[in-house]
Amino acid sequence: MHIHNLSEENSILNSFISEIRDAHIQTDRMRFRRNIERIGEVLCYEMSKTLDYATKTVKTPLGESATELYQEEIVLCSILRAGVPLHNGLLNYFDDAENAFISAYRHHKHDPETFEIIVEYLACPSLEGKTLILADPMLATGQSMVATFEALKPFGTPKKIHLVSIIGAQDGVDFVDDNFGKDTHLWIAAIDQTLSDKGYIVPGLGDAGDLAFGKKLQH
């Protein structure tokens, strides 16, 4: 897998990441969502440099201009619910993309430390021959990303796969590396070293879904 860890280079992205991690700034839910969206836009911009392009000529009021435009049919797939602001950020740039949504949550059967991923809701167009961008803001164990990809298989075989995350744990990055093909790209804004006993990224930022949308009752 090609891993593009954008934190290896200093940029404005550092400010957005710092704000979503900051426990004080996190209390502003709208700012949290908007920063996730801005990070999605930056990741999208970097990813766009690797797409296939072809020349298209447009008429200006004064003449003609030949421009290289991307040629890939993109499907954005996000994991509910934390993926929604990240999805918006990607869609802000890939404005003609098709969209897929899937719900995946951790079901703790016996104790808080062990869980299985339950996929319930799935809405997806055909993926055959298209470029699939699979977005999950927190790549903790990597199990949601892999379970989602398994659930998408009946919808066709994508030509290219890009995974997009905001913060990952090294274990999660290793897990997706083991479970996706070597041509898959991972675009990620930061990689942290550890996971807590409950499967949270440390230092991470906490629960991205709760921070974006408010706390939920556990089931």
Cβ-based neighbour number of residue 76 at 10 Å = 25
Interaction with ligand URA in 136-175: which residues (CB under 6 A)? 138, 140
> 18-28 burial by CB neighbour count: b if 16+ within 10 A, else e?
ebbbeeeebee
Nearer to ligand URA, 140 or 164 (CB): 140
Task: List all residues 6 or more positions away from 214 whose beta carbon is below 8 Å from its beta carbon.
Answer: 29
Task: List all residues 6 or more positions away from 95 whose beta carbon is below 8 Å from its beta carbon.
Answer: none
| Least separation in angstroms between CB 167 and ligand URA | 7
Task: Tell me the per-residue interface mask from 68 to 87 with ligand URA, x by CB under 6 A, - otherwise.
Answer: --------------x-----
Q: How many positions of this chain bind ligand URA (CB under 6 A)?
A: 9
Nearer to ligand URA, 75 or 138 (CB): 138
Nearer to ligand URA, 93 or 200 (CB): 200
| Least separation in angstroms between CB 36 and ligand URA | 11
Task: Tell me the per-residue interface mask from 192 to 211 with ligand URA, x by CB under 6 A, - otherwise.
Answer: --------xx--x--xxx--
Distance CA 168, CA 192 (A): 6
Nearer to ligand URA, 127 or 190 (CB): 190
> Tokens for 18?
């710092």
| Least separation in angstroms between CB 201 and ligand URA | 4
Binding residues (CB under 6 A) for ligand URA: these are: 82, 138, 140, 200-201, 204, 207-209
